[in-house]
Amino acid sequence: MTIESSPSLFDIAPSLAVEGDDRTPLLPVRHPNQDLFICDVLDAIPKDDMASMEHPVFSLSTKPDNRMRRYEHNGNIIEIIPSGKGLATIHDKDILIYCISQLVAKMNHGEQPSRTLRLQAYDMLVATNRQTSGAGYRLLTDALTRLRGTTVRTNIQTGGIEETRIFGLIEEARITRKTFDGRMLDLEITLSDWVYRSVISKNVLTLHRDYFRLRKPFERRMYELARKHCGMKDEWKIGLELLQKKCGSNSPLRVFRSLVKKVCAHDTSHAHFPDYAITMADDIILFRNRLSLKTKVDVIAPMRDAPYIDPETMHDAKTVAPGYDIYALHDEWVSWWHDMGKPELKSPAGAFIGFCKKRHERNPIR
């Protein structure tokens, strides 16, 4: 992979990327009772498209980033061109994640997919753990502007098709209803064909809900990469220089090394990083799945006389039933299935997700 770009704020002032080290690594849960009034949001398990998880499309800067980027890796070329408002940021991506999650949820319910989604702004803010104050709505408007203005030129494959295309991250955003004081209520977002094709091809992965609580943009990017490459495997290793390229940073290697060490130290102290524990030795970063390998093998391997549940569904189940031992719930579900006379299941994955969700609703673990 090669990178061509000018320095960004993230590169020349890395201290800004690690500010707040005296605070807890995770943001507070801003809407702890969301399940009482936004059922549809909880049904839409957070999903991200694998194409943007693989490549550093989004800026990690906390200030406007006006650099143009070019990446080459394994025959793929991607150029990200900012608008006057700067590049779309990793926090702006929350909007795309929410849209993708809603679209996947509708498809799972048998609805016809569409590139244009009609959404309630408040629901989006709550689901992504954002503020619902007036400032929260203004930031949402700015994020939509950057998503629409950032241009991508790429030959990356999505949905089994390779072609060079030039497009925005979203095609259009339209606010359809406002309050008397100008806050948006309802809006329509039309996804780019590139993102939409990834979704309908099911080139998506589940994200842990605590992704939206990670304070540092850099940690969000690290989680994306771990989720993409480690997944449900026991561990994944990556060299420091390659991690730096995948994060889109041009900072000196010694500065980047210090940043990664600080993240690893925080995870050792707080175990805050979603799904994976992070350590580094000799410039090799190791992501280890927090679930034991033995348990995963025992449960995910096809069981005799039981519906097969794939690893991605197990991850979805963990999302809808936070705090529960998902593998213990799996055992209970299989026992229930036997007790019911082994009925034929049109969607074993959907049945298992529903079982876990109802258990959490009856007895949530906080």
Residue 361, pLDDT > 70, answer yes
Least confident range from 87-91, 153-157, 211-215, 353-357: namely 153-157
- List, for residues 172-205, the tens digit of each pLDDT value: 999 888 877 777 889 999 999 888 988 888 889 9
Distance of CA 246 to the CA centre of its chain: 16
Q: What pLDDT band is residue 20 in, cutting at 50, 70 and 90? A: very low
Separation between Cα atoms, residue 366 and residue 362, nearest integer Å = 13
Separation between Cα atoms, residue 61 and residue 218, nearest integer Å = 9
70 phi/psi in degrees, rounded to 5? -140, 130
What pLDDT sits at residue 118?
Answer: 93
Percentage of the chain beyond pLDDT 70 is 85
What pLDDT sits at residue 350?
Answer: 83
- Looking at 153-232, list the stretches that DSSP marks H as alpha helix, in order from N- to C-terminal side: 193-200, 217-229
What pLDDT sits at residue 22?
Answer: 56
What pLDDT sits at residue 362?
Answer: 84
Least confident range from 12-21, 137-146, 156-165: namely 12-21
What pLDDT sits at residue 43?
Answer: 55
Spatial contact of 105 and 319, defined as CB atoms under 8 Å apart: no
Spatial contact of 223 and 34, defined as CB atoms under 8 Å apart: no
**Distances from the Cα of 135 to the Cα of 96, 101, 138, 183, 184, angstroms:** 20, 24, 5, 10, 12
Q: What stretch of H or E contains 185?
A: strand 184-191
Question: Hey, which residues does 188 pair with through a beta bridge?
Answer: 118, 174
Which has the higher per-residue pLDDT, 196 or 22? 196
- List, for residues 121-158, the tens digit of each pLDDT value: 999 999 899 988 888 888 999 999 999 999 999 876 66
Residue 2, pLDDT > 60, answer no
**Distances from the Cα of 69 to the Cα of 32, 58, 167, 207, 313, angstroms:** 38, 10, 15, 26, 35
What pLDDT sits at residue 366?
Answer: 62
Spatial contact of 334 and 306, defined as CB atoms under 8 Å apart: yes
